Amino acid sequence: MPTPHDAAAHYQAVADGVYCIETGLYRDGLAACYLIRERDRLACIDTGTAHTVPGLLGAIADLGLTPEQVDYVIPTHVHLDHAGGAGALMAVCPNATLVAHPKAAPHLIDPSRLIAGATAVYGEAAFARDFGELVPVPEARVIAAADEQTFDLAGRRLTFIDTPGHANHHGCIVDAGSGGIFTGDTFGISYRELDTAKGPWLFAPTTPVAFDPDAWQQSLDRMLAHQPNAAFLTHYCRIDDPARHVDRLRCSIKDLAAIALAQADAPGAERKDRIKDAITGHLLADARAHGCTLSDARMRELLAVDLELNAQGLEVWLKRREKRSG
């Protein structure tokens, strides 16, 4: 039976010189990466997995360009749905420089800890099936980006900003050409199937292992200070006027943290499952309040990966809090 990454990749133009590319992870419409084109030069923001790279190269060819014209590969952070294909893409883009958060860069140069961590979360078989091989990136081709550092793409300014909260090694990219911001996971998750007359429905991904609700709120302040006209989400695609939607995400961060804290004293063996049940009830009710008319079964299907990973991440967060207070 074909897996999602066997399907032909597809993409769409979402702004001036910006293309949203389906990565093929798990299901259509779950995860994207982006190409920025300025004249005959390209930058790739996030990469999907190793299985995404052929589709990325196909999109580059469709645009009449070649891998030699890729100047930058910029994963927002090293979670594998965002950076799993970085090494494989760099290997076929000989002129590209990889730009990453200083805390992320070492894991792309030597991905052994990423492999171990992801295997622990997903299991060996699922890791191999869904993410493929993690290829190291030569250190000489990597820039550990400073906060507010700018990069020139054929005259188009890309600005890296440090945005912890979802992960402590997360950075977003402000694109002067489109006026938008590439948000990775810092502007949350918003699947297009869950849009309603009220607009996009956003929620926070509390994926393992470095959820920090206070830092996340501050990162949202920093992002909005750039006054972006659009947020380009990895999960999924473009949201216009992010300032109009940010309060929903701020509430989601607070609500999910509160759900975890309410289970802090639950027995250890049961706590993660209780958190997952509480998250499920909360997110489905919140989507309903936003006007979603999909069945509970369909919403659970769309959110299945996130419900499990959010529960795991909140459990890790509670353990870190306990360790600090102990």
Q: Convert the pLDDT of each residue in 305-321 to its tens digit.
A: 999 999 999 999 999 99
Per-residue model confidence (pLDDT) at position 326: 64
Half-sphere exposure of 271 (CA within 13 A, CB side): 19
Residue of 133, 170, 171, 116 lying closest to 49 (CA atoms): 133
pLDDT tens digit sequence for 174-203: 999 999 999 999 999 999 999 999 999 999
Q: Is residue 72 within 8 Å of 151, Cβ to Cβ?
A: yes
Angle between helical axes of 242-262 and 213-225 (0-180°, round to 10):
180
Model pTM above 0.85: yes
Return the structure tokens found at 16: 């001036």
Q: Give, for 45, the enclosing helix (H) or strand (E).
A: strand 41-45
Residue 78 pLDDT greater than 90, yes or no: yes
Does the structural domain 4-185+208-240 have CATH classification 3.60.15.10? yes
- Confidence class for position 62, pLDDT limits 50, 70, 90: very high
- Cβ pair 243, 197 in contact under 8 A: no
Measure the CA–CA gap between 245 and 169, rounded to whole angstroms.
24
Percent pLDDT > 70 in the chain is 97
The amino acid occupying position 203 is F
Counting Cβ atoms within 10 Å, is residue 60 exposed (0-12), middle (13-18) or buried (19+)?
Answer: buried
Q: Which of 66, 63, 64, 104 is nearest to 87 (CA)?
A: 104
Of 26, 40, 96, 89, nearest in space to 236 by CA: 26
pLDDT tens readout for residues 82-134: 999 999 999 999 999 999 999 999 999 999 998 888 888 778 898 889 999 89
The pLDDT of residue 217 is above 60: yes
Residue 29 — left, alpha, or beta (φ > 0 → left; ψ -120 to 50 → alpha)? Answer: left
- The SS3 assignment for 156 reads strand
Preceding amide of 26 cis, omega within 30: no
Asked if residue 172 lies in contact with residue 231, where contact means CB atoms within 8 angstroms, the answer is no
Residue 6 has what pLDDT? 38
Render pLDDT for 238-279 as a digit per residue (tens, 0 to 9). 999 999 999 999 999 999 999 999 999 887 778 999 999 999
Q: Are 101 and 184 a contacting pair, CB within 8 Å? A: no
